[in-house]
Structure 1
Amino acid sequence: MASLAAISSFGSLAATGLTDAAFLYSAGRKAVCVTGLIDVPVVANTTIVNYLGPANNFELTEFITNFARKDSTAFAAYIGDTRQVSDTFSIFSKLCVPNDAAKASRLSSIQFLTHGGTTDHNYWDFAAGYSYVDAAAEQGYATFSYDRLGTGRSDHPDPKQVVQAPLQVDLAHVLIQKIKSGSVGGIHFNSVVGVGHSLGSALTQGIASKYPSDFSALALTGHSQGSDGGTIGFAAAAQQIANTLPDRPELKRLPNGYFSLGPIPQTLQFAFFYYPFFNTTLFTQEFNTRQTNAIGETLTLGSLYTPATAYTQPV
C-alpha cells in the first residue's frame, strides 16, 4: 500500500467523502486509487416479499427450482405490495485514476463499474494482467467500483425486504451524483460511463431507464437480450445459504436470505469458465473469495427490464 504523500504526486486524488480511507495502487500499478466507505442516503420504492424462508438449504434448493420450472408462478407467489424504504447505507468504494501524471491531468470522464452476482468490487481489479481498472487507466480513464449493497464490505441489511434491485438503482444514482459533483475523491467529472457485468449490467440498464441523464454511454457485459439457458445456469450454481458454507466462515454472520455458490468448484465453472481457456490459479482465487446474492434482489430483478426510451446515448 502506498502512502498518502506518494499518491498526492499524481494529482488531486483525495480522501474526500470517504471514511476509513486508504490509498493504494491497482493490481498492475497502472492506476492509483483511494478506497473507503461512503454513506449513501436512499429513498426507494421496494416490494414486500411474501416469503419467510429459507430455513435450510433443502428449502433454498426448492425455492430456486421453482424459478426453473416451466410456467413458473414463483414471482406471483412471492411478490406483494410496494412500500418505501428510506435509510442511509455504508458502501465500500474504490476510485482510481491513471498512474501517469499527464493522463491524470486530462481526466474528464469516469467509468462507473457495477459487478455481477457472487462477486464484489475486486472483479474489476482482480490481478495483474487481469484488471479492467488497469486497462482503463492505460487509456486515460478514471474508474469507480463499489461493493453492491449486501456484498463485500458494504452494509448487509435485510436480504428480502431491503436488498432489492430497485433500491440498488436508486443507491447507484446517488453515488453517481456524488461522483459528478466531486464529493468523492475531490475530482469533478463531467461525464460518467456506466459499465456493468451480468447482474451489474441489469442494474446499469435500470439506472439508464430511470435516470437517463446519469450516463453519457453504456457498456453492458455478461448480458444479453436472450435468456436461453439462464435458468439452467442459475440452477447449476447449486447455491446455498451463505452462512452454511464451510469454506467461507466470514459469511457466517449473515441471515439466511443471503446465498452464494455451492462449496464445490464446478458451481463456478459451469456458469462462468470455459475449460481449458482460463487460468486455473485465478479460477481458484475467485472461487475462494466468492460473495453473496440476496433473495430480494433475485425476486425483483425482472423489474429492471423495461425499455429505456429516454436514454439516447451510445450503448
Structure 2
Amino acid sequence: MALSTLLSLLALLPAALAIKPRCFEFDHPVHVSLTVPTFNVPKFSNSYESTAFLTASVSRNANLSSLVTGEVKIDRAFKIHFQYCEPEKCTRAPDVLQVLSHGVGFDRSYWNFGDSEYNYIASTTGHGYATLSYDRLGVGFSEQADPYSEIQVPTQVAILAEVSKLLQHGKLHKRISKPKKLVHVGHSFGSLITNGLVAASPSLSDGVVLTGFSQNTSWTPLFELCLGFELARTNNPARFHGYDSGYLTWGNEYDNQCAFYTYPFFDTHVLKQAERIKAPFAISELLSFASVPLAAPNFTGPVLMLSGQSDLPFCGGDCTGVLEGPASVSPFVFPSAQPFVSYIQPNTGHALNLHYNASAAYEVIHGFLKEHVH
C-alpha cells in the first residue's frame, strides 16, 4: 500500500485510546553562544505605537531588512521550563522521545490542551512514546528575556540544539534516560525553529514533524494583521502587568479566530479557553523570521509536513498546491529526507491541535513515525 494511501486511511480512523501519561516538570538553565542581528526599533510606549509599527511593516513599501543595524553576541544561560511525559504504566524508558516546540501565541499547554480530543501528549504517550515539551524563551514559566534583542529565531534554534545535545547524552535531567531515537515535532513558529535546527545540525534529530508550517512566508502579513500588535501588559494587565513593552498580543477572541481557526470546524469553548491562556510574543521573534537558513540538504531522516487545509500564515488560507505539487518548495529544502511526505488536514486552520478533527491528525503523525522511526 502506498504511504500516501496509508496516511489517508489513518486520518479517517478514531484516535487510539489515550493512556494517561506520567509527567513531571522542571527548570534547567540552557547556555547558548551565538550572534544575532540588532534591529532599529524604538521601544514602544503604548499600543498606538506598536500598532503603527505593524501597519508600516505590512505596507507595500515595507522593507524590514532595513531595520537591521548590525549584530550582537549572546553568550549566556536562559532558564527554560520543561515537562517530560511517558506512558503511565511504562516499565522502561521509551525508545523514542519526541521534543515538542510550540508556536506564537501559545505556551507548552498547546500540546496537552484539555481532554484527549485535543491532547497530543496523551495521544502520543498512548502510542508508547515519551515527550518533552517546553515553554519557549520568553513564554510561560521560562525566562522573560529582552523581547527587543534576545528573543529571536536564532536564539530559539540555539536553545533547541543545546537541549537536543543534552538529551542525546542523557544529561538534561536524571530522570530522563538517553533515548535511542530523538524526534522533533513543531507547530508554526516551533516548526520554523525545528526546521532551522536540522538545517544547522542534522545529526541532532532522527525524524522531524512540521505542523502548521510551510517554507513560504509570503502570507505572514495576513497573520500579523489578524494578531494585531497590542502591548500585552495593557491588553491583559492581570496576567501580563510585569512584561516589557516588547511583548505583544492580539486584542480578543475574534482576532484569535482570524489568525488560528477555521469556522465552523472548532468548538467556540475551545477558542475561549485558548484566549484565556494565550501567551504573548516578542517583537524580535517576528523581525528575525528570515534570520536562519532552512535548507537542510544533509538531513537524511524522515520528514512529515502536516498543515490544516485553511492555514492562513503559511498557506494564505489554502494549502492545496503549497504543501504539495509543483509550487511546494519543501522537497528542495529537504532533498535528502527519507522520506519527505506532505499531508493536508481537512477542515482545519492554523491551530491544528484545536480543531474538531485534531485526533485524526495525531493518527497521521503516529502512523508516519511508526513506519519510519524505529
TM-score by length of 1: 0.86
Question: What pairs up with 1:62-141 in 2 under 5 angstroms?
Answer: 62-76=52-66, 78-101=67-90, 104-105=91-92, 107-129=94-116, 130-141=118-129
Q: Distance in 2 between matches of 1:245 and 1:195?
A: 31
Aligned residue for 1:222? 212
Question: What pairs up with 1:172-191 in 2 under 5 angstroms?
Answer: 172-183=160-171, 184=173, 185-191=175-181
Letter paired with 1:196:
G
Aligned residue for 1:210? 200
SS across alignment from 2:242: coil
Q: Post-superposition shift, 1:86?
A: 0.7
Q: Post-superposition shift, 1:305?
A: 4.4
Match of 2:190 among 185, 194, 200: 200
Aligned residue for 1:244? 234
- The answer (yes or no) to whether the contact 1:94–1:146 under 8 Å persists in 2 is yes
Question: What pairs up with 1:1-315 in 2 under 5 angstroms?
Answer: 30-76=20-66, 78-101=67-90, 104-105=91-92, 107-129=94-116, 130-183=118-171, 184=173, 185-227=175-217, 229-246=219-236, 248-262=237-251, 264-315=252-303
Q: Distance in 1 between matches of 2:170 and 2:23?
A: 15
Q: Distance in 2 between matches of 1:296 and 1:167?
A: 11
Q: Post-superposition shift, 1:72?
A: 1.6
Q: Distance in 2 between matches of 1:71 and 1:314?
A: 39
Residues 157 and 306 of structure 1, relative CA distance in 2, 3 Å threshold? same
Q: Distance in 2 between matches of 1:67 and 1:91?
A: 31
Q: Count residues with an aligned counterpart.
A: 283
Q: Post-superposition shift, 1:239?
A: 2.8
SS across alignment from 2:288: helix
Letter paired with 2:72:
R
Q: Distance in 1 between matches of 2:51 and 2:263?
A: 27
Q: Distance in 2 between matches of 1:211 and 1:67?
A: 32
Q: Post-superposition shift, 1:29?
A: 5.6
Alpha-carbon deviations, 1:288-315, whole Å to 9, x = none? 1100111111111112343112212111
Letter paired with 1:297:
E
- The answer (yes or no) to whether the contact 1:39–1:91 under 8 Å persists in 2 is yes
Q: Which runs of 5+ in 1 are unaligned?
A: 1-27
Aligned residue for 2:4? none
Deviates more, 1:65-74 or 1:148-157: 65-74
- The answer (yes or no) to whether the contact 2:31–2:78 under 8 Å persists in 1 is yes
Q: Distance in 1 between matches of 2:254 and 2:215?
A: 26
Aligned alpha-carbon RMSD (Å):
1.5
Q: Distance in 1 between matches of 2:88 and 2:137?
A: 29
Q: Distance in 2 between matches of 1:257 and 1:75?
A: 19
Deviates more, 1:58-67 or 1:178-187: 178-187
Deviates more, 1:301-310 or 1:37-46: 301-310
SS across alignment from 2:290: helix
SS across alignment from 1:111: strand
TM-score by length of 2: 0.73
Residues 89 and 225 of structure 1, relative CA distance in 2, 3 Å threshold? closer
Q: Distance in 2 between matches of 1:46 and 1:204?
A: 18
Alpha-carbon deviations, 1:33-74, whole Å to 9, x = none? 110111111112111122122221111112112232124212
Q: Distance in 1 between matches of 2:19 and 2:246?
A: 37
SS across alignment from 1:302: coil
Identity in percent: 29
SS across alignment from 1:126: coil
- The answer (yes or no) to whether the contact 1:40–1:88 under 8 Å persists in 2 is yes
Letter paired with 2:196:
G
- The answer (yes or no) to whether the contact 1:66–1:74 under 8 Å persists in 2 is no
- The answer (yes or no) to whether the contact 2:226–2:250 under 8 Å persists in 1 is no
Q: Post-superposition shift, 1:255?
A: 0.8
SS across alignment from 1:310: coil
Q: Post-superposition shift, 1:106?
A: 5.9
More strand by share: 1
SS across alignment from 1:270: helix
Q: Distance in 1 between matches of 2:176 and 2:21?
A: 16
Letter paired with 1:208:
V
Residues 62 and 169 of structure 1, relative CA distance in 2, 3 Å threshold? same
